[in-house]
Amino acid sequence: MTSPVDFHVYDTTLRDGAQREGINYSVADKLAIARLLDDLGVGYIEGGWPGALPSDTEFFARAADELNLKHATLVAFGATRKAGTLVESDPQVAALLDSRAPAWCLVAKSDIRHVERALRTTGAENLAMIADTVAYGVSQGRKVFLDCEHFFDGFAADPDYATEVVRTGFAAGADVVVLCDTNGGMLPSDITDTVTRLRDRLGGRPRLGIHCQDDTACAVANTITAVQAGVMHIQGTANGYGERPGNADLFACLANLECKLGMSVLPDGGLEKLTRTSHAIAEIANLAPDAHQAYVGHAAFAHKAGLHASAIKVDPQLYNHIEPTTVGNDMRILVTEMAGRASIELKAAELGLDLAGHPDTTTRVVKRVKDLESRGWSFEAADASFELLVRDELQRGLTRHFTLESYRVIVEHRNDGSVVSEATVKVKVGRRRVIATAEGNGPVNALDSALREALISHYPQLTEVSLADYKVRILAGTKGTSAITRVLVETTDGHRDWTTVGVHDNVVEASWHAIAEGLTYCLQ
């Protein structure tokens, strides 16, 4: 079995991943991400391009003093010396030295067309630039990786020159020469063919690497294919972040290598940290985690169809390609109009409610779910509402800590241009009739505040409860101001979050249902 020492896991989230539209890491962000990646157990973390970007220069300066990496080696990215320049006097190479990073990754042209048209130099000079810079880095005690930009396109155009670039890198002392699908245009069959032909040309078994962009949605597949063809160094980014459609998702690559190919590429315990690491980095990047991301997404092991749930009830692995906890994730059962008895029982069990010995209750729950879903309700993302429904059937009547008498919402446009909403709520708490009024920046906010104001003296725990998120959706097949509206409300008490749903052709009434259920759930 391959060990982490033999195989290189190289992360470029902080450099290539930062090129994704909408990402703008601060130096503190980059330090935090580096610590997460190190804890996961990656072997190399590419920190950025010192000398090219001031923030990257600052990152390396702080990293040298502040990062105490346990597993990873920090890598500085840069380019080979400029044409016609001595390597010792190239300011960009000097910046690599100044970064104090123990490893360098040098990018070099491997497509003769790019050499002649973009660099405006000769093929021979390009080879000299590679040899000089790699050898200089090695002479300074650095481990050097060589990224062959546009390698696959270059090999297709001129295999002799592309091969010579690789040979030159190894001859100068490069530890790994990385084959880059820079334009992301390759398919798995292209990768297999090129890597196999290159290895035949090189003879022996030098350590080759792979770097894939995702322009054909094949970056992960191309990376795994390259490994199967003999590559021993993979480059990728957290969650596939990167320019255009992105890079190979490092987390999917790692899970595939470990779970499908049986390779040990992370330290013990690393694989089960994948989901947590993925979501933590998404938060730092200020991007919503992709619920449908392979292995680590919230929906990666979510099952909706009743047929699936029936099989899962017998054996969870019948419809899961791996045990979800292997990568730190969980299986989920979604309750929808497709739900059958098995789906309902499994989902209830997930919420701590046992329906297995209550067949009549299960029948009633299935009937209510199907009826409500047909009228626009959705329990897929509203576990709290579903739990209340099940409890209602199990207990033959849910404990109601309050009942609504009436509510009124007024929206006032004032002379100064401000718009203020005011809500009055009349509820019964036990035998007491309570009236409360509150203002808000919108009718829903005012209604939520007024209801909690009415209840807080009776239920002090609601002091810590607040509305965390609010989503409105106009249901398909309806239109205009009279359309049916579905509202999802996420409520939090600072320790846990829960989501409830409301549906009505009046958005305020739909919101009331969701808000009231959210507080009812808290009080159960």
Which CATH number do you get for residue 465?
A: 3.30.160.270
Cβ 377 vs Cβ 503: under 8 Å: yes
Q: Are residues 223 and 78 in the same domain?
A: yes
Q: How confident is the model at residue 67 (pLDDT cuts 50, 70, 90)?
A: very high
Task: State how far the Cα of 111 lies from the Cα of 123, in Å rounded to an integer.
Answer: 9
Task: State how far the Cα of 501 lies from the Cα of 491, in Å rounded to an integer.
Answer: 11
Q: How confident is the model at residue 342 (pLDDT cuts 50, 70, 90)?
A: low
The CATH number covering residue 12 comes to 3.20.20.70
What is the model's pTM? 0.73
- Domain assignment present for residue 437? The answer is yes
Pair of tokens at residue 259: 């779970």
On the 0-12 / 13-18 / 19+ scale of CB atoms within 10 A, 363 is middle
Residue ending a domain, among 267, 290, 305, is 267
- What's the pLDDT score for residue 471? 86
Q: How far is CA 398 from CA 441, 443, 461, in A?
A: 32, 28, 20
Pair of tokens at residue 118: 């973009």
Using only C-alpha atoms, what is the Rg of the chain? 29
Weakest mean pLDDT among 236-245, 379-388, 472-481: 472-481
- Domain assignment present for residue 346? The answer is no
Higher pLDDT, 5 or 125: 125
- Domain assignment present for residue 248? The answer is yes
Q: Are residues 43 and 190 in the same domain?
A: yes
Q: Which domain holds residue 426?
A: 403-523
Does residue 1 have a pLDDT over 50?
A: no
Q: How confident is the model at residue 357 (pLDDT cuts 50, 70, 90)?
A: confident
- Domain assignment present for residue 387? The answer is no
Q: Give me the torsion for CA of 30, 32, 38, 44, rounded to 10°.
A: 0
Rounded to 5°, angle at Cα 70 from 74 and 49: 10
- Domain assignment present for residue 345? The answer is no
- What's the pLDDT score for residue 524? 83
Q: Count up the domains in the chain and report the number.
A: 2
Residue ending a domain, among 251, 267, 283, is 267
Task: State how far the Cα of 412 lies from the Cα of 422, in Å rounded to an integer.
Answer: 8
Once rounded to an integer, what is the mean pLDDT over residues 345-364? 82
Residue ending a domain, among 221, 238, 267, is 267
- Domain assignment present for residue 152? The answer is yes
- Domain assignment present for residue 338? The answer is no
- Domain assignment present for residue 157? The answer is yes
